[in-house]
Chain A
Amino acid sequence: MKAVSVEEAIAMIPNGATVMVGGFMGIGTPERLLDELVRQKKSELSIISNDAAFPGKGVGKLFDASLVSMLTTSHIGLNPNVQKQMMANKVAVKLVPQGTFVERIRAGGCGLGGVLTPTGVGTIVEEGKRQVDVDGKRFLVETALRSDFALIHAFLADYLGNLSYALTARNFNPVMAMAADTVIVTAENIVPVGVITPDHVVTPAPLVDYLVANR
């Protein structure tokens, strides 16, 4: 793990990169990293995030600045900007059931080619997908998802990069921290090693590539 400034962290991300962003409706989202993506005008991004949050909040800021060309997500219903950009063919939106979304990322982080899920069988979600019969029950083959970068927000990070999360801000963060080539983390609090006891470390330090220094 290397400690970096927020400017250095985002400078590593090229235009057109595939970026996972933790958070659920903007809760548990690394807002400082998103603000810096906007400031450095990183464009043509391919974003993987559970939802599109709201205008002005979370990943919603990237759409306010028209920096996204593709979005893989489960829900965009509370961000009218994304719906508009989708209808105008400015953003390609791939909708994925939320449980399938997280399992595809988990598979990507765990060296699996994908998962078998009953979710979506008999609906338009099954179109173009392989189906497998296991003990008489039908499942869809849903392939693994990985990304170039994962932007993660923790509650506590220690000087080594061990992470723990708070309440409902955990959500997709620990799963995404497994599934990207480069993992960049912000934390509400950066604390000495040992403050997070071994039992309470959720994301172990070796998974974290860069920890963004707090101001």
Chain B
Amino acid sequence: MDAQSLIARRVARELRAGNLVNLGIGIPTLVANFVPSDLKVFFQSENGLIGTGPMPEQGMAHPLLTDAGGRPISALPGASVFDSAMSFGLIRGGHVDITVLGGLQVDAEGHLANWMIPGKMVPGMGGAMDLVSGAKRVIVAMQHAAKGKSKIVQKCALPLTSARPVDLVVTDMAVISFSGGRITLQETAPGVTVAEVLAVTEADLFIPANVPQMKI
């Protein structure tokens, strides 16, 4: 299984029946592909939809029904639409149970940086700051390292997305949690040892006595 699918599959296991879930672009979008068909979750698209369904079949797309990236989607039975004030009221107001976002860096305190690289890439924060500030649970889905450099750092060098720490980070090598305010290695990916995770992690991870392998 490729790294992105592994991450998405593991994140999908965090979703519970009835959850209202917002998926960011990139790896987070893939999470929807791995949700069991009998698990009823609501996906929100921040451009104003609850009940996002898969991409419509050829010729069935509606020009006024897209995801937040402007790509055609479908709406499931029971879907609802609303304006952007309500969409972000849902997000900031704590009505979204889980948000899954991509990341550039996460640090030992759980702070996420995911919206700009000064002088290099300034796409804008879009809805990321509101999602991290307001969702009940924040999950980061990203590669463990980029170009050999750890994305799990002691302190974020890039501008933060929020002062609110994230709850869980799922990478191609590990699951990392912040319960009790301590950055903890919770699981390792299949075939990856604790030592291998430590070797590519800049932050000082707490290693519990028992670190199980990721169930996917």
Contact = CB atoms under 8 A, between A and B. Distances in A.
B70 A54 contact: yes
B56 to A, nearest CB: 12
Interface string A63-86: 000000000011111100001001
A134 interface: no
Q: For chain B, which range describes its interface: under 10, 10 to 19, 20 to 34, or 35 or more residues?
A: 35 or more
Contacts of B66: 25, 27, 168
Interface string B61-82: 0111110111000010000011
B45 interface: yes
A201 B115 CA distance: 37
Contact of B48 (A24, A54, A97, A124): A24
A167 B81 contact: yes
B130 A99 contact: yes
Given A50-B84, A119-B92, A99 B65 contact: no
Contacts of B82: 170
The prevalent SS among residues of B at the interface is: loop
Given A99-B130, A124-B160, 18 more contacts: A24-B68, A27-B70, A75-B124, A76-B122, A77-B123, A77-B124, A97-B128, A99-B127, A99-B134, A100-B129, A102-B85, A119-B134, A123-B159, A125-B129, A167-B49, A167-B81, A171-B47, A175-B85
Interface in B160-184: 160-163
Contacts of A53: 70
B19 to A, nearest CB: 20
Contacts of B143: none
A56 interface: no
Nearest to A138: B163
B114 to A, nearest CB: 11
Contacts of A77: 123-124, 126
Contacts of A24: 47-48, 68, 70, 84
